[in-house]
Structure 1
Amino acid sequence: MFNSSNKLFDQIFELKFTSKQLNKQSQKCESEEKAEKGKAKKAMEKGNMEGAKIYAQNAIRKKSEALNYLQLASRLDAVVSRLDQQAKMASVSKSMAGIVKTLNVALKNAPLDKMVNTMNQFEKQFEDLDVNTAVMDDAMNKQAALSTPPDQVNELLLKIADENNLEVQLPQAGNNKVPAPIAQEGDKDSLTARLDALKGPDACAVAPHINCDLTFLNICTCSPTPPTRPESEATSKAWEELRREARKLEGELDVKIAAYGKLSSSYEYGYTKGESGLSTDQLLQTKSVEINTALARLSDVNSSMSHAITGGADSRAHTLARHRDILHDFTQEYRRLSSIVGAARERADLLGGISGTSSAPLMGGGNTGLLLRERGLLDRSHAAVDQVIGQAQGVAASLTGQRQLFDAIDSKVASIGARFPVVNSLLNAIRRRKNRDNVILAGVMGVCMLLILLYWVNK
């Protein structure tokens, strides 16, 4: 039994060591994934799209390997938990057998001290059993595929290019359209042979792009058809111009919103010093108008870019979505700063009021400082009171927890007594003896008090 338990603990140790090694391998794969992404970025900057695709495939493969390593480590942890639970249950069963033997001996002899010690050990084993029966979470889902589909490679390349503002042209899977088959191909082959025999070898040889329609009178009516041309470059040029305009507006908005944030942070400080603040108000209004105008222009440019997108242009759609996200972020940041400026203006009006250009402030700088100092003291007092209340709530929570703990101990002792009738009868006997001792002690104390009173009266 002892050798088997040692072997079980050795297996648990080996499994834990293997799980740690798998976690390290997962971290190594994640670092290699980052390195492959960096190589793909450098290849895209140099214009080597084939190399970038290879690096992207390697990055996706490393990510899948990292997930697989994590899944194997999780499964090994689950196995370790079960083996550990089995080992602990074996030790608990062995301890319970010894306690039962000791309990039988104690029940025969029935000494009170030994019975109390045995019951304490018995309760401790139950508590250990409750602690050691924890349940592990489920393992990870099914393994991730090791293949690297072209869609994932293209998405990863587009993401890297968009994060680093790179221009890439990737072939789209949806654009490789296969022409529809021609109906009645056999009949048209025969008609083509008859047409070649009728028009001769030199007919319409000058202009091969001319369509010849031969009637039953053998008259060649050639109708010129325009040759197929690739997609017009006007849409591509318009897209590039709109994208350059969007980047320019985004850079301007970044600078203007940063300046607006600095002005909003220094707005309240001017009022605390007793300044008029009119110059700051004018600057804030000017910056606000400029930011609103730039946001409107950027929104119009994004709308124009959405109209310039043709069917199947996934890379352009992804770029447009990113520009829209940037516009949304700028709008949210501007609204946040505007709310801060409004709150600061209301706070300044409450404390000092805004004075005119020629008149002095209604409250001097010293009075404003006193009010602010008084307000700071009140805030600190409120914080101290909140801290005391929090401490009181913590003490109340701890007392409640202790009460629940004592209730649980009482209920556990009662359940143990109900589970073992002999122990229950023994506890009842102890309780009756304790009550009898209390009654005797109370009677003795009463007699002593009566004798003392009689002594004082006779004296």
Structure 2
Amino acid sequence: MSSSTFAQTRSQALNLEKQTEQLLSQYSQFLTQQNVEPNEEEVSVKAAIQEILTKRDSIINKLNRIGESMDNLSTSKLQQLTRHREILHDHKLAFTKIEDTIQNDRNRNNLLFSVRSDINAHRQQTTEGHSEINAHDYILDERQRVDSANSFAERLLQSAFNTRDELLNQRQYLNNAQAKMFSTLQHIPGINVLISKINTRRKRDTLILASVIAFCIILLFFF
């Protein structure tokens, strides 16, 4: 009698496990929905899962009592009872995980929606309250930009004029230095002859070097 009762109760446990898996699968579909508040279907599925988990607790307790009342509980029945407990524990964890994920996503979406609403409200108030002031400020800003551009152009022209004057002064200084050098050379006896000899020797060395290079090229060409 106890054995048949155990089998019937276990059959109920198996049936409830299948129903739980279907409900969990249905409940997990709400993870992809961006609802601000839970709809009626979500509330109904959640309540059904909670109810069926409570029933399974009762069924497992009943199986445990039946097993204790039996004179000799077989190892297979003990393993079956343990397995039902493990499956119930896994289903409870899965339900809690799905529930927490849905709630966390909903809280994040609600926070983002609230922040966006506040930003839009602030922008609208700013636009309505400062539209005329913004137009006046824009004109003033443009005038300041034009004045700044004119001031920069004036500074640039002044810098160019100063650079030109500096170059003219340097040119005059170099001309004076060249004139003084020529005047000094004319008053030193023999300096012109020395410079002439240096130039002649430089031309001679250049001519010799050019001849050597030409001779080498000719040798490479014929040999």
TM-score exceeds 0.5: no
The structure with the greater share of residues assigned to helix is: 2
TM-score normalised to structure 2 length: 0.37
TM-score by length of 1: 0.19
